[in-house]
Amino acid sequence: MELTIDRLTKQYQNKIAVDRISLTLTKGVYGLLGANGAGKTTLMRMMCGILRPTSGEVKFNGIDVNHEDYRDVLGYLPQDFGYYPEFTAMEFLCYMGSLKGLTKPRAKEKSAELLDIVSISNMSNRKIKTFSGGMKQRLGIAQAMLNNPKILILDEPTAGLDPKERVRFRNLISQLGADRIVLLSTHIVSDIEDIAGTILMMKDGQIIHKGSLEEIIKAIDGRVFECIVDSRIAEELTNIYPIINLRQENDKVFLRIVCNNKPSQDAICVKATLEDLYLYYFSEVGENE
Ligand SMILES: Nc1ncnc2c1ncn2[C@@H]1O[C@H](COP(=O)(O)OP(=O)(O)OP(=O)(O)O)[C@@H](O)[C@H]1O
Ligand SMILES: [Mg+2]
């Protein structure tokens, strides 16, 4: 099982949204992490054959993204997925199943099975307009799974989920990644650090880091420090270095900071996290929460 992306590029007028990305994905969960506007949706839409690239190609086991056989192995949850509020979950899935070419009895059987997998089978006869954000996202994943895809592409599937739903979601994704390629985008670090075997960090249309959590954290290993300094020094430091965390402590300031050398006498070097790396790369554009 191999999904290959070769020098994939998308240019809008004068904006290069995806810039010559080459990647090979095999079985497992991939987390596409990037700030707003990094190019995640553009990349995913080209991987789904919905958006025509300016140049480059996408192939699964040698089948081109534009070939109808590719459609059969693909499941997709768009970022702006439209639900039909007056449909029940079951009606909705059966309808989507028929669009994907399943016979009526098969669509019904498959829908019931999927509602169970995403743990909303008790809500199969409720109208979608009464669903919470998390329930809708799970329904969205279920519709993407109707054709039992080998490639599952989920664009910001955790948007709007509460912490409890996030945990359930992570478990679901891990299961789904056991025998297919799952690619999910997010700008929330904690959504992928435990489940993505490979993290793809995207910035300005390029994949700037790719690897396991440990591998990509190495980029700033030994450069994350914590210190407590007085406010004048804190101000100097924050003008020079990316700040991960800052909080007032009485008349002093606690800082977590990324810099090449020890920022102050008593600063301690701490273990880097994915969040440190993310904030390091995206803090200057002010996109982080
Ligand atoms: N149809 C379009 N025409 C012109 N520019 C576009 C179009 N679609 C996207 N862009 C631009 O391409 C860049 C990448 O957008 P994209 O939606 O792929 O980012 P994203 O990483 O998915 O962001 P978000 O996290 O906000 O969903 C942005 O600068 C965006 O403004
Ligand atoms: Mg997007």
> Looking at beta carbons, which pairs linking 108-112 to residues 24 or more positions away fall under 8 Å?
110/146, 111/142, 111/146
For residue 161, is pLDDT > 70?
yes
Share of the chain above pLDDT 90, in %: 70
Which mutation among 9, 40, 81, 278 tests ligand 1's pocket best, with the greatest number of atoms within 8 A of CB? 40
Atom of ligand 1 nearest to the CA of 79: 27
On the question of pLDDT at 285 being above 70, the answer is no
Give the binding-site residues of ligand 1, using a 6 Å CB cut-off.
12, 15, 17, 34, 36-42, 79, 187
For residue 127, the number of C-alpha atoms closer than 13 Å in the C-beta half-sphere is 6
Cβ–Cβ < 8 Å for 259, 272: no
Please state the rounded mean pLDDT for residues 239-261. Answer: 89
CB 96 within 8 A of CB 104: no
Nearest residue (by CA) to ligand 1, atom 26, is 36
Average pLDDT of every residue of the chain = 92
Contact in structure between 244 and 224 (CB atoms under 8 Å): yes
Q: Is the pLDDT of residue 288 over 80?
A: no
Give the span between the Cα atoms of 134 and 140, in whole angstroms.
10
Nearest residue by C-alpha to atom 31 in ligand 1: 37
For residue 38, the ligand 1 atom closest to its alpha carbon is 21
| Tens-place pLDDT, residues 231-243 | 898 988 888 888 8
Asked if the model's pLDDT at residue 287 lies above 80, the reply is no
Q: Is the pLDDT of residue 104 over 60?
A: yes
The confidence score (pLDDT) of residue 243 equals 85
Q: Which ligand is located closest to the Cα atom of residue 285?
A: 1
Mutate to test the pocket of ligand 1, among 10, 42, 47, 278 (most ligand atoms within 8 A of CB): 42
Task: Give tens-digit pLDDT for 37-84.
Answer: 999 999 999 999 999 999 999 999 999 999 999 999 999 999 988 889
Q: What is the mean pLDDT of residues 26-30?
A: 97
Q: Nearest ligand to the C-alpha of residue 34?
A: 1
Residue spans of alpha helices (H) in the chain: 40-47, 68-72, 89-99, 104-117, 133-144, 163-176, 189-192, 213-217, 231-240, 274-282
Q: What is the pLDDT of residue 241?
A: 85
Q: Which tens digits make up the pLDDT trace of 172-197?
A: 899 999 999 999 999 888 888 888 99
Q: Whose Cα sits closest to atom 14 in ligand 1?
A: 39
Q: How far is the CA of 165 from the centre of ligand 1 (A)?
A: 27
* CA atoms within a 13 Å half-sphere pointing along the CA-CB vector of 284: 9
Q: In percent, how much of the chain has pLDDT > 70?
A: 98
123-133 mean pLDDT:
94
**Closest-lying ligand 1 atom to the alpha carbon of residue 34:** 21
| pLDDT attached to residue 284 | 59
